[in-house]
Amino acid sequence: MRRRTLSRDGGYAVRVAVVDLGTNSCRLLLGEVESGLVRSHERAATVTRLGRGVDRTRALDPPAVERTVACLEGYAARIEAFAPQARLLIATSVLRDAHGGERFLDDVRERFGLPWRILTGPEEASLSFAGAASAFPQARGKRIAVVDIGGGSTEFAIGEPGAAPFTRSLDVGSVRLTERFFATDPPTDREWAAAQRFGADLLAGEIAPHVGAVALAIGVAGTITTLAAYKLDLRIYDPDAVHGHVLTLADIAAAIERLRSLPSAQRALLAGIQKGRADVILAGTLIAEQACLTLGVDGLSASEADILDGVALRLAPGDVSASEDRPARADLSEERRQDRAVEEPTPKR
């Protein structure tokens, strides 16, 4: 497995488990943080589409909840077998938006023993930045941008690794954009133009004034890794081939041209298109193109390291915790904690 240098030194091996509960997928990282390094023992991703319809109804869809709970049940068994010293479930856009999200997470905690935290948009962007930057040593001392295209939102973080970046979270993600604008499959020219105009205007107002000169742009999460796998014609996903692969603007434009001509059922047959993403990959690709244009870059470097790694960085030394009655530490101090997620680390034997 790839080893990544972190910003802290330490003398303990801390086993961590992180679950990312997103709008489109649920993901798991089991790893070990030791002396400023993180080793990934296992990664998993399952499309559960918990955010189906949430943009319109602000309510969780019962079948989506059932899919998600079934996924979490499987993840919980793997977490228990791994026996981490620190564990945390993070929730993002879908549970920021949905009514009853905290009740759902309380049920998950009671059933599976997973402390939880609903991240704010800026926290999500900052943690994605930390995770991605840790896997790109060439980014040190440079001004970089990290773009995290999710199902419900897209996060931008711009700055130098090790310093607090500019962050912005926007309510434009692959699922949300698809549900808002694409009534037909594939979308009509009018639907595409409306979505494109919406994305361009949003990024022009919220991101463009803060860009400056960017030396490296990194893309994280399922849209970017799927596009890299698609470009590489991967029938079997290869994280080592995907990580660091550059998606140029020309690559993204070519993908848009082809994907726009196909309905979701045909997109799903293409090499690299991950299961459960065929119906939303086109909207995600639109966001990726607009992100490049707004940042003034020629493309995005795909990263396997993302918010899961950023949380692992904070979780091992105890800088991030679940929701409770006293303030959390570090850059997450505005959130509330409900349960300690970190046990005391034990020395490596």
Strand partners, 27: 20, 45
Q: What is the pLDDT of residue 343?
A: 37
Q: How far apart are CA 340 and CA 322, in angstroms?
A: 6
d(C-alpha 307, C-alpha 131), whole Å: 5
CATH 3.30.420.40 segments of the chain: 3-120+307-332
Rounded percentage of the chain residues whose pLDDT exceeds 90: 77
Q: Is the pLDDT of residue 342 over 80?
A: no
Please check the confidence at residue 334 and state whether its pLDDT lies above 70: no
Mean pLDDT check: name the lowest of 72-81, 154-163, 186-195, 323-332. 323-332
What distance in Å separates the CA atoms of residue 79 and residue 18, rounded to the nearest whole number?
9
What confidence category does residue 337 fall into, taking pLDDT thresholds of 50, 70 and 90?
very low
End-to-end, the C-alpha distance of the chain in Å comes to 20
* 176 vs 313, residue with greater confidence: 176
Inform me whether the pLDDT recorded for 87 exceeds 80.
Answer: yes
Distance CA 293, CA 315 (A): 34
How far, in Å, CA of 116 to CA of 123, rounded?
Answer: 14
pLDDT digits (tens, 9 = 90+) for 135-192: 998 898 999 999 999 999 999 999 999 887 899 999 999 999 999 999 999 999 999 9
Per-residue pLDDT of 4-32, as tens digits, reads: 333 344 457 889 999 999 999 999 999 98
Amino acid at position 32, single letter:
E
Q: What CATH topology corresponds to 3-120+307-332?
A: Nucleotidyltransferase; domain 5 (3.30.420)
Note the pLDDT of residue 78.
97
CA 187 to chain centre: 25
Q: Going along 79-132, which residue ranges are E strands?
A: 86-91, 116-118
Quick one: pLDDT at residue 13? 82
Closest of 90, 103, 88, 80 to residue 316, by C-alpha: 88
- The alpha carbon dihedral of 238, 93, 173, 69 has a sign of positive
Question: Residue 344 pLDDT more than 70?
Answer: no
Output the pTM of the full model: 0.86
338 touches 289 (CB < 8 A)? no
Which residues of the chain form CATH 3.30.420.150? 122-303
Interacting residues of 144 by C-beta distance below 8 A, sequence separation 6+: 133, 136, 158, 159, 160, 161, 214, 215, 216, 217, 218
Which distant-in-sequence residues (6+ apart) come within 8 Å of 21 by Cβ?
A: 50, 68, 72, 89, 90, 91, 92, 94, 95
Which is the CATH superfamily of the domain at 122-303? Exopolyphosphatase. Domain 2 (3.30.420.150)
Measured at the alpha carbon of residue 163, what is the angle toward residues 161 and 164, in degrees to the nearest 5?
A: 115
323 pLDDT band, cuts 50/70/90, is low
Find the mean pLDDT for residues 112-125: 95
